[in-house]
Structure 1
Amino acid sequence: METLLNDFSPGLFIVQTILLLGLIFLLVRFAWKPILTSLNEREAGIQDALDAAENAKKEMQNLQADNDRLLKEARAERDEMLKEAREIKDKTVADAKEQASIEADKMIKQAQSAIEGEKKAAMADIKSQVANLSIEIAEKVIKEELSDKKKQLKLVDEMLGDIKLN
């Protein structure tokens, strides 16, 4: 949990939030309006077909057989239009979901590559610190009397005891 808080990047979070909101805005702006317009036009077409069927029924009350046939045709046409509208709506929604999924995958991959880059930078920094620490130990050992081997071993043991690795 602590590493999650340490690796949290507010800038990246804000950028991803802005990108997500932008994507939602674009979908609402360019995808939903045409869908709703198409559905309203189809609904108006269906309503017109039902009105025409109703007028035909009033005009031809004496011809019951023709009236039934016209109603069946109008209902079949309405069902077909509704079926087509549903298919178009489902296809558009599926396409929008697929596009959103692709965009989300791209964002995740970008975040993963950024995390990997930061991880490599941290490893390079740790290696640099280890190298500096090794040099410091070597300098201290050399500063001590080089001729006295017991003193050198004692100094190395003391320095290794002082070092704490995280």
Structure 2
Amino acid sequence: MDQLLNDFSPGLFVMQAVILIILILLMKKFAWKPILSSLDEREQGIQGALEAAEKARLEMKNLQADNEKALQEARAERDAMLKEAREIRTKMIAEAEGDAKAQADKIITQAQEAIAAEKRAAVAELKGQVAELSLEIAEKVVKQELSDKEKQQQYVDKMLQDATLN
């Protein structure tokens, strides 16, 4: 350190100070401005990127909220459609049951009417057969009764007596 103090020269010191100041001024004019401007540009770029990232994050959050809302609406619509389908199915089943019951009642009524008609026809046919049978029996009885002349005369007399009494 003593040697540094002994070798100290004020002229050299001033010269070095002037060179340092000139160097600083040149650096400021040609190097510092571009360096600082590029740093400012980079800082602005980083700030812009951060703002864009924040904006993108907010948009993503909004999109997620919109997607969730759309999903809920889709679920609600699906549930409504399923409920409507169940109601339609129930209504169709009830209508089909009502139609089937009405048709069954109609068939039963037609069957009862057919049975009644068949019964009337059978009774009429039976009456006709009974009447024919009765006529045949009466004819045979009358033939047998009237085959003899004397029996015929007695029968006519009896009929006349019955007729005059009434």
Structure of greater relative contact order (alpha carbons < 8 Å, 6+ residues apart): 1
- Based on CA coordinates, which of the two structures has the bigger radius of gyration? 2
